[in-house]
Amino acid sequence: MKIFEKPRAWSKEKWRWIIPILLISLFLATLIWLPLQAQRMEANERQEQLIADTLWVEHAIQFQIDRNDEMLRQIGSDIMSMGLKPAEVAERFDRLRNSNHEISSLAWFNHEHVLVTSSAEEGPSGKHVPDIPYQESGALEFDIRTRCFTPTLDDQLPKSEKNSYVINCQIPLIKGTKHLGRIIITYRASGILEELVPWWFAQDNQISLVDIDDKVYATRASAGLGKNVYTHNRTLDLPDLPLVLHTNSNKSEPKLLANLLVSVVIVLSLGLIWSLAALWRDINRRLATEGALRQQVIFRTAMENSLVTGLRARDMQGRLTYVNPAFCNMVGFPADQIIGRLPPMPYWAPEAFAEYKQRFSDLLAGTVPANGFETIYQHANGTKISVLIYESALIDETGKQTGWMSSILDISELKRAQELSRQQEEKLHASARLATMGEIASMLAHELNQPLAAISSYTTGAMNIVEADNAEKNLLLGALSKVNAQAQRAGQIIRSVHEFVKKREATREQVDICELIQNTLPLIELQGQASHIHIQWLPTKNLPPVLADHVLIEQVLLNLTRNAIEAMQDTPTGHRNLRIQASMDVDNDHVVVEVSDRGTGIPAAIAEQLFSPFFSTKASGMGMGLNICRTAIEFHGGKLTHSDNPAGGTIFRFVLPAFYGN
C-alpha cells in the first residue's frame, strides 16, 4: 500500500507547485506585457493625437487663406461693379492686412499689368511691393481661379529675417470675357506659421512648410527641434502650389518604468483617479462643445433674423420647410401658417397664378433660372409686392439634393424709383423739345409770313378777277390753286411743330428712317436759313425699317443739326455745308445716320466730357442736349458716337438696329 501511495502524493505535490508557478508566470507575463502594451498604445495615441492636431492646424490655415481669397474677390467684384477708386481699394487693403498679419502685401494691377495701388509691410527702405511678373498662358488667360506661385526669397526683409520666403497668389479680375486686371496677395511663409498655428501646438511640435521635394520654406520651433519620433505631413490645398505642412513632435518614445511592480501599483492606484479625471474632462469637453454649438446656433439664428433678404427652403415636393423673419414680414404671414404647406401659397397674387404654376413645374423638373427672375407677391393685406427671386439646389452633407433654397428681394421701391426716373426722363425730353422750338420760334414766324403773305396776295388777285370779265376764270383757278398750296405749306409747318412739342408717351413702331429725315428737313432748313447753311441730304434706297419713336429720333436730329449749324458760325460762307446721310452697316445689321459739319471740330479735352450732363461750351447752354440724344438712342438699343471729319469739322453718327418684324 505504501508503494502506491508515494507516487500519488508526489503527483499532488507537483500540481501544488505547478499551478502557483503557472499563475505567477502568468502574473509576471501580464506585468511585463501590460507596460509594453501601454508603451505601444501611448506611442500610437501620441501619433494619432499629432495627426489630429496637424489636421486641425491645416484646416485652420486653409480656412484663413480661403477667407482672405474670398474677401479679395469681394474687393475685386466691387472694383468691377462699383468702380472703386485706388484710394478706397488701398484703404480696404490696409484694413485686411492689419487684421491678418500673415499677409505681407496686397497689390492691384490693371489690365496693362501696371500697379494701381498697394498695401505692404514696412521694410528697411519703406513699404515694399514685390515685383511680381504677370503669369498667364494659353487657356488660363481668362481663368477665374486663384493661382499661387512657387515661393520666392524676399530680398527686402531685414538681415534677421534673411532667406525668408514669400508666397504670391494672383486673383484675376474677369468681367464676362474681358480681363480687367488682377489682385496679388503676398504671404510670408514664416508669417503663416507664426500667425495661423496656435501657440499650444507650436510648444509641442516643430512645424515646417516644405514642397514635394522636401525643400524647407519656413520653420517654427518654439520649444526646440523635433525628435523625429512622431511626424506627420498634410498637404495644403493652395491653387497650383502643392505645399506640405510637416510636423515633428518634441516628444520622445515612452519609457518603461524600472520597477514593473511599482508601475503596476501606481497604475492601479491612479487608475480610479485617472478615470474620474477623464470622466470630468470628458464632461467638461462635452459641455464646452455643447456651449459652442449653442452659440453657433444662436449666432446663425441672429444672422438669419437680421437679414433683409427673404430666405425660403422647400423640399423635393415643393413643401415649405423653412422661412426667415424677413420673408414673413415681406408677405405678411407668420411662419407657422405657411411652413409645411404645398402650392398654391397664400401669398401668390391671383393674376399671376399661371406663371407661378409654370415656374413651380419647371422647378420640380430641375430647371432653375441662373440669373433669377422677377414676379409679384401679394401681402396679407392685399398689397402687391415686386420681388426678385434666386433659386438654387439645397444639398445635404452627403451631396444629395434635398430641395431648393430661395433668396427673395423686395424690389418694390426700386420699381417705383425706376418709374419715377422714366417719368422725369420723359419730362426732360419734353423740356428739351420745348427749348428747341423756343430757339426757332422767331424763324418759324418769319417762315409762316411768306406763305400767309402769298395767300393774301393770291386772294386779292382772285377777288379782282371775279370783279372783271368772266373770261379770266382760268386765271382765277390758278390763283386759288396757289393759295391752296401755300396754305398747305403753312399747315404742314404748324403740324410738324405741334407734333414735335406735344407731350406724349414714348411709343416704338416701325419707322422708315429716310422718310423720317425727309419730314424733318423743313425744320432743319428753317434752323439753317439765318446762317446760310447748305444742307445736303444723302439717302440710301431700300434701307430696312427700325423700331423707334419717331418724335425722339426727330429730336436727336434737330439737336445734332443745330449743334452743327452753331459750330459753323466762323466757317466761310461757301464752306458751310451740313451733310445728312443714311446708310446700312451690313456686318452688324444696323441702320447708320451721320450728321457732318465743316466747323472747328472738337478738342480732345472737351471730347472726354462731351456727353456728360450739364457740360456745355456755350454761355447760354444747359449742357443736356447731347446727353439727351445719347439717352434717346440707347433707349432704342443703339449707340451715339462722334469722330473728326477728314474735310474739317465733326461727324456725329448714331446707329439703330434694323427691324424685320416677327
Q: Is residue 266 part of a domain?
A: no
What is the per-residue pLDDT for 546?
92
In this structure, the answer to whether residues 462 and 565 fall within a common structural domain is: no
Q: Based on the domain organization, do 81 and 199 belong to the same domain?
A: yes
Task: Let me know if residue 289 belongs to a domain.
Answer: no
CATH of the domain at 627: 3.30.565.10
Same domain membership, residue 389 and residue 325: yes
In whole angstroms, what separates CA 224 from the centre of its chain?
48
Q: Is residue 370 part of a domain?
A: yes
What is the mean predicted confidence (pLDDT) over 549-566? Answer: 86
Residue-wise pLDDT for 233-246, tens only, equals 888 888 878 888 88
pLDDT digits (tens, 9 = 90+) for 559-616: 888 888 888 888 888 888 999 999 998 888 899 999 999 888 887 777 666 765 654 5
**Backbone φ/ψ region at 487: left (φ over 0), alpha (ψ -120 to 50), beta:** alpha
How many residues are recorded in the chain?
A: 662
| Cα–Cα dist 53/205, whole Å | 10
Listed residues 410, 434, 451: the one ending a domain = 410
Residue 88 sits in a domain whose CATH number is 3.30.450.20
Same domain, 211 and 78: yes
If asked whether residues 67 and 177 sit together in one domain, one would say yes
Alpha-carbon distance of 88 to 94, in angstroms, equals: 10
Q: Is the pLDDT of residue 503 over 80?
A: no
Q: How far is CA 104 from CA 63, 72, 164, in A?
A: 18, 14, 12
Strand partners, 178: 175
Q: Is 576 exposed, middle or buried (0-12, 13-18, 19+ CB in 10 A)?
A: buried
**Alpha helix ranges (H) inside 510-645:** 513-529, 550-567, 604-607, 625-635
Report yes or no on 269 lying in a domain: no
Do 453 and 528 fall into the same domain?
Answer: no
The beta strands (E) that lie in 35-177 are given as 103-110, 115-120, 122-123, 126-127, 147-148, 152-153, 165-175
Residue 533 sits in the same domain as residue 625:
yes
Bridge partner residues of 174 (DSSP): 179
SS3 of residue 509 by DSSP:
strand
Mean pLDDT, residues 96-113 taken together: 87
pLDDT at 619 over 50: no
DSSP 3-state assignment of 84?
coil
Are both 89 and 189 inside the same structural domain? yes
Is 82 found in the same domain as 65? Answer: yes
Grid cell, residue 189, equals 511663409
- C-alpha cell at position 334: 407668420
Nearest C-alpha neighbor of 185 from the set 235, 125, 132: 132
pLDDT-wise least confident of 338-347, 370-379, 497-506: 497-506
Torsion of CA 208, 201, 49, 231, to 10 degrees: 20
Contact criterion met (CB below 8 Å) for 168 and 148: yes
449 and 573 assigned to the same domain: no
Is 88 within the bounds of a domain? yes
Indicate if 416 and 406 belong to the same structural domain. no
Write down which residue in 505, 532, 551 finishes a domain: 505
405 within some domain: yes
Residue 397 lies in a domain: yes
Arithmetic mean of pLDDT, 245-263: 67
Residue 137: the pLDDT is: 42
Which pLDDT score, from 0 to 100, does residue 581 have?
Answer: 92
As given in the structure block, the three cell numbers for residue 168 are 504670391
* Chosen domain end from 222, 252, 282: 252
Same domain, 56 and 186: yes
**The pLDDT value given to residue 273:** 66
Q: Is the pLDDT of residue 516 over 50?
A: yes
Domain count, the chain: 4
In a domain, 296, yes or no: no
- For 116-151, give one letter per residue: b (16+ CB within 10 A) or e: bbbbbbebeeeebbbebeeeeeeeeeebeebbbbeb
Structural domain that includes position 460: 411-505
HSE of 138, CA atoms in CB hemisphere, 13 A: 1
Residues 281-330: tens digit of each pLDDT: 887 788 888 888 888 878 777 776 666 788 888 888 878 888 888 888 88
